[in-house]
């Protein structure tokens, strides 16, 4: 008895030692030969509902779409385990009982009739394919235990469902369900799951779409086996047996190609977008049809982005009229291409000027010729409009008031705000951008512009629009105040304005929107971006070849498409418009200046303003001036006589506006010339030389030298000026007349003296070259 106990103890110790050695050996081998579990999946793109809308082949040209754990439905799990591995959740990667049972069967029948591979072993074989030998079977078992050590049971099942072959280059249940049944795995029926489960054993003879009748026979055998084993209820089996199999292999989904290729660069296996396919398909059809209607004008492409203003998600994205159009470069992503933005940045500029206390909607700006160090902008129609309000300047998209406003605000302040709105190219080019920035002299994308416009619908707060569902928690940047945003919204929502499309047939059901158009230099890009409380829609129309088209304009080419889209996605919307915020108030101002009225202001209007921010100075449009009894001369305080004069109120007109009126023969009441006997030398108000420009270098052709123009701006009391070149008298002329001269090479001093003795000097440099 004692000996027997000793033997048992000895055997037990031997077993323990053996197990310990085997365990140590397993972990050593596991460390030396880690499981090769690196799997390349097909990149798939899904819509807001999780449906696959685009997919890419792997590098080895396989459709291997990743099935997520939440897509493994209880029905799918139950069916696969019932067929492949009933004790999957009980074993450690190897099922000893199945191995013994299989060995007995194979010995009795003298051939291999059944295997003993668990799901874990099948995963190991899929990860590391080898010939079927006993040695390789042992390696497969070792790999299966490695998988059990590294992953949970659910994860192993997930890997199995991702790698199981379904014929051809289709791997994984998601690829099969998408390409054969056009649905996600969690939507498959019992009959469909069973049909798919039998294909891996005979992938060449059981091909869905070719051998459907044979597949139904094999499927029904398994369904009856499930019934015999009471895996499913009789009704479930009966319904599955009656279900026809009409599936065929289809093409992989190929929607939103431009966005799909853009997002694929992230490297994710599954890219979950916020695209709403119903809206996306409607917009694609509109863009395709609208672009087709422009072909006769040689305008061939368009791009559209739609943002949901309530969620800040991009719900539609179209990069071109037709991705498959190789003639007109349909593969180019017009929504992400860097283009000249035209006038589309003006609303942000004026909003910033309002917040800085520089402007209010009714404040007056002069729209007359200007020149900033050689930069002389022009309006779209090459005309000047004199006095205009900020509101009118934005409505008419006037260029000169915009440049003046940017000069007052400072271009770096605007660029700083644009950088917060993720304008990458503008941020990159900040050092070399000038005042032309506001007229489109910069680079921007439709993505950036549409995102920026969405801030007007969000009380001036910019939240970067999210392309994917993982884009959460985007930082909020306050760009404008609620008050200035509201003022801009009111201006841009007016229908009676010049950029309303001439060929738009009806506005009966057009929802109320605010919008702004833009046309780039050379008429290469037409923009129209609109918004209301629900959506922000960005439109670009043009040619990817950058071909300029005379008929191309934001108003008449891009805006009709904008209206069509709003009519489609927000038809007859009666939602409330933006409410006037608490930080915005109204006041009475002088219509001639937009400032608080003085006692002499007679024409009064209502204007929005921001308390404690907007200008609070009173209108100084009128001034009382001492003049002679015959009203032929005026006096200053230094030369005003004791008697023999009278005082009269005059409207003060800046020299630039006097010149504007004189050139157009517009009658206005002029202040009489100043007293010629006045002995005071005026240090201020001297002539301003507008041409040539001080400090500039001028290159003149040696063979055919062109003269330089001499011009200046003077006060209203000046009638004559005197020009001097290098301290030598050159010519006397009318104050508003232009003169010309051919300069000598080298530094040239130019002096201009008015008839009141006020003088201005500039120095330029002249160089003669062979041109």
pLDDT the model gives residue 682: 54
In the predicted structure, residue 40 carries a pLDDT above the cut 90: yes
**587 sits in which H/E element:** strand 585-590
Q: What is the mean pLDDT of residues 734-745?
A: 88
Tell me what percent of the chain is helix, strand and coil, each rounded to the nearest 5.
35, 20, 45
Encoded tokens for 702: 């040696």
Q: What is the mean pLDDT of residues 280-288?
A: 97
Q: How confident is the model at residue 138 (pLDDT cuts 50, 70, 90)?
A: confident
**Burial letters 126-135, b for 16+ CB under 10 A, else e:** bbeeeeeeee
Q: What is the mean pLDDT of residues 629-633?
A: 88
How confident is the model over 101-136, as pLDDT tens digits?
Answer: 766 766 665 555 455 789 999 999 999 988 888 888
In the predicted structure, residue 270 carries a pLDDT above the cut 80: yes
Q: How confident is the model at residue 3 (pLDDT cuts 50, 70, 90)?
A: low
Instruction: Tell me the C-alpha to C-alpha distance, in Å, between residue 316 and each of 265, 266, 331, 559, 703.
Output: 19, 19, 17, 18, 60
Q: How far apart are CA 637 and CA 660, in angstroms?
A: 29
Q: How far apart are CA 434 and CA 636, in angstroms?
A: 41
How confident is the model over 694-725, as pLDDT tens digits?
Answer: 888 899 888 888 899 999 888 777 888 999 99
Residue that wins the pLDDT comparison between 501 and 53: 53
Percent of all residues in the chain with a pLDDT value above 90, rounded to a whole number: 67
pLDDT the model gives residue 372: 85
- Is residue 393 within 8 Å of 621, Cβ to Cβ? no
Find the range with the poorest average confidence among 235-239, 451-455, 734-738: 734-738
Q: How confident is the model at residue 504 (pLDDT cuts 50, 70, 90)?
A: low
In the predicted structure, residue 765 carries a pLDDT above the cut 70: yes
Encoded tokens for 316: 């539609």
Find the range with the poorest average confidence among 245-259, 275-289, 643-657: 643-657
- Is residue 568 within 8 Å of 588, Cβ to Cβ? no
**How many CB atoms neighbour CB 99 within 10 A?**
16
pLDDT the model gives residue 27: 81
- Asked if the peptide bond before residue 390 counts as cis, ω within 30 degrees of 0, the response is no
Q: How many residues does the chain have?
A: 771
- Is residue 121 within 8 Å of 141, Cβ to Cβ? yes
Q: What is the mean pLDDT of residues 683-694?
A: 80
In the predicted structure, residue 539 carries a pLDDT above the cut 70: yes
In the predicted structure, residue 507 carries a pLDDT above the cut 60: no
Q: How far apart are CA 501 and CA 486, in angstroms?
A: 24
Encoded tokens for 599: 């006692």
**78 sits in which H/E element:** helix 74-84
Residue that wins the pLDDT comparison between 628 and 282: 282
Q: Give bridge partners of residue 746 from the DSSP assignment.
A: 766
Give the residue among 230, 325, 22, 42 at the shortest CA–CA distance from 145: 22
pLDDT the model gives residue 16: 79
Q: What is the mean pLDDT of residues 668-694?
A: 77
pLDDT the model gives residue 113: 47
Percent of all residues in the chain with a pLDDT value above 70, rounded to a whole number: 95
Q: How confident is the model at residue 290 (pLDDT cuts 50, 70, 90)?
A: very high
**711 sits in which H/E element:** strand 708-713
What's the chain's average pLDDT?
A: 90
Encoded tokens for 428: 């990159």
In the predicted structure, residue 675 carries a pLDDT above the cut 90: no
- Our measurement of the distance from residue 296's CA atom to the centroid of its chain's CA atoms, rounded to an integer in Å, reads 29
């Amino acid at each position: 008895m004692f000996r027997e106990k000793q033997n048992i103890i000895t055997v037990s110790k031997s077993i323990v030692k053996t197990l310990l050695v085997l365990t140590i050996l397993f972990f050593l081998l596991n460390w030396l030969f880690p499981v090769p579990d690196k799997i390349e999946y097909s990149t798939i793109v899904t819509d807001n509902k999780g449906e696959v809308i685009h997919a890419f082949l792997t590098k080895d040209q396989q459709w291997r779409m990743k099935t997520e754990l939440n897509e493994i439905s209880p029905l799918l799990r139950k069916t696969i385990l019932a067929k492949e591995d009933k004790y999957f959740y009980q074993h450690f990667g190897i099922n000893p009982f199945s191995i013994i049972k299989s060995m007995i069967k194979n010995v009795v029948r003298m051939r291999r009739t059944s295997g003993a591979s668990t799901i874990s072993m099948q995963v190991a074989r899929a990860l590391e394919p080898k010939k079927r030998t006993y040695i390789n079977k042992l390696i497969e078992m070792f790999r299966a235990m490695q998988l059990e050590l590294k992953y949970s049971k659910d994860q192993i099942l997930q890997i199995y469902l991702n790698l199981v072959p379904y014929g051809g280059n289709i791997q994984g249940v998601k690829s099969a369900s998408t390409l054969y049944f056009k649905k996600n795995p969690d939507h498959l029926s019992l009959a469909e799951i069973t049909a798919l489960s039998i294909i891996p054993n005979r992938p060449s003879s059981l091909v869905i779409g070719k051998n459907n009748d044979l597949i139904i026979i094999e499927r029904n055998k398994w369904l009856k086996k499930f019934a015999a084993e009471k895996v499913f209820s009789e009704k479930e089996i009966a319904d599955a047996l009656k279900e026809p199999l009409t599936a065929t292999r289809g093409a992989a989904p190929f929607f939103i190609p431009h966005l799909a290729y853009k997002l694929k660069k992230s490297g994710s296996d599954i890219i979950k977008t916020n695209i709403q396919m119903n809206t996306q398909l409607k917009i694609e059809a509109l863009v395709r049809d609208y672009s087709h209607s422009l072909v006769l004008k040689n305008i061939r492409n368009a791009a559209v982005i739609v943002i949901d203003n309530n969620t800040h998600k991009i719900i539609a994205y179209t990069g071109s009229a037709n991705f498959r159009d190789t003639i007109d470069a349909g593969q180019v992503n017009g929504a992400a291409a860097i283009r000249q933005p035209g006038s589309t940045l003006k609303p942000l500029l004026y909003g910033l000027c309002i917040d800085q206390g520089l402007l209010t909607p009714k404040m007056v700006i002069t729209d007359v010729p200007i020149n900033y160090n050689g930069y002389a902008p022009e309006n779209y129609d090459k005309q000047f409009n004199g006095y205009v309000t900020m509101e009118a300047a934005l409505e008419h998209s006037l260029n000169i008031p915009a440049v003046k406003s940017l000069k007052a605000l400072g271009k770096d302040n605007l660029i700083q705000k644009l950088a917060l709105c993720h304008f990458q190219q503008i941020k990159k080019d900040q050092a070399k951008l000038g005042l032309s920035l506001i007229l489109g002299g910069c680079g921007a994308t439709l993505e950036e512009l549409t995102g920026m416009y969405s801030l007007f619908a969000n009380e001036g707060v910019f939240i970067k629009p999210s392309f994917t569902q993982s884009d959460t928690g985007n930082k909020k940047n306050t760009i404008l105040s609620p008050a200035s945003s509201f003022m801009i919204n009111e201006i841009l929502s007016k229908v009676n304005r010049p950029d309303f499309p001439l060929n738009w047939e009806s506005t009966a059901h057009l929802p109320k929107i605010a919008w702004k158009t833009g046309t780039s230099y050379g008429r290469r890009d037409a923009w129209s971006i609109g918004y209301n409380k629900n959506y922000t829609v960005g439109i670009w129309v043009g040619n990817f070849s950058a071909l300029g088209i005379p008929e191309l304009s934001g108003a008449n080419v891009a805006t009709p498409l904008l209206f069509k889209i709003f009519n489609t996605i927000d038809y007859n919307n009666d939602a409330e418009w933006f409410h006037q915020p608490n930080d915005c108030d109204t006041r009475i101002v002088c219509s001639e200046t937009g400032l608080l009225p003085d006692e002499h202001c007679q024409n009064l209007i209502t204007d929005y303003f921001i308390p404690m921010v907007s200008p609070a100075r009173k209108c100084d449009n009128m001034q009382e001036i001492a003049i002679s009894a015959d009203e032929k001369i005026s006096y200053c305080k230094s030369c005003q006589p004791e008697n023999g004069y009278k005082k009269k109120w005059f409207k003060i007109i800046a020299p630039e506006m006097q010149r504007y009126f004189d050139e157009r023969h517009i009658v206005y009441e002029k202040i009489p010339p100043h007293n010629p006997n006045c002995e005071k030398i005026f240090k201020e108000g001297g002539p301003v030389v507008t041409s040539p420009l001080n400090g500039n270098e001028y290159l003149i052709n040696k063979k055919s030298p062109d003269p330089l123009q001499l011009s200046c701006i003077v006060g209203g009391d000046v009638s004559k000026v005197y020009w001097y070149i290098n301290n030598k008298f050159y010519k006397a002329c009318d104050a508003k007349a232009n003169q010309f001269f051919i300069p000598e090479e080298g530094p040239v001093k130019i002096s201009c003296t008015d008839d009141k003795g006020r003088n201005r000097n500039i120095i330029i440099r002249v160089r003669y070259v062979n041109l």
